[in-house]
Structure 1
Amino acid sequence: VPHVQQAFTWDCGLACVLMVLRTLGLDCCHGIAELEKLCRTTSVWTVDLAYLLHKFSVNFSFFTVTIGANPQYSAETFYRVGIATCCCSNSSDIRCTNVFKITNCDRSNCKKTLIE
């Protein structure tokens, strides 16, 4: 797997997606910055990574315990700002839910379940 180094503290998921794309031989983007533009946010959640994989036609399985934004994460440092600034308008939840819809999460590649 060709290593891709993070540019920031928040873009580890984007680096992972880029490593997957390159390993699969998909020369569809030139760097993390291009993936960031596709996500249109620096508050990248797991569903955003699923969106990117879907966009580049990568076959994957996605397991989650919550379809949409989970308010229990509001105490976590990474999510605090994104959820707190959106709590009144609930735009983070709307964005997340829309990304789930775009990713076709109702298909067999997305399961709402808890893996123990």
Structure 2
Amino acid sequence: MGVHALGGDPGLAQRIWYTILFVFAGLSALALMAAFGIKPLNAAVGSAIYLLNPFVTSVVITYPNYMAAMGLLAGIPAILMFVGRGSLSVFLDIRFSILRLSE
């Protein structure tokens, strides 16, 4: 509805949605590798391999639910590792303080 209101067609909306899912999966893979302590350049290469391997380019890209699952598959362990290590404590403190203020 938002893309149509701006003059776009359904094909453009689908392309935007797939791009968002692809970026989400890539950033999730990058975050997971950062959580493991891999150097930034190596993590970027690993993230590219995660996104551009033959299975992903032949099967996953055609189905948005698989791409969303790829993002969650890498994103959830990354969040758990960052929280377990205490790296996300500032983010969580801000979030919970906002929730307390809204009560």
Larger Rg: 2
Q: Larger relative CO (CA 8 A, sep 6+): 1 or 2? A: 2
Q: Which has the higher strand share?
A: 1
Question: Higher helix fraction: Structure 1 or Structure 2?
Answer: 2
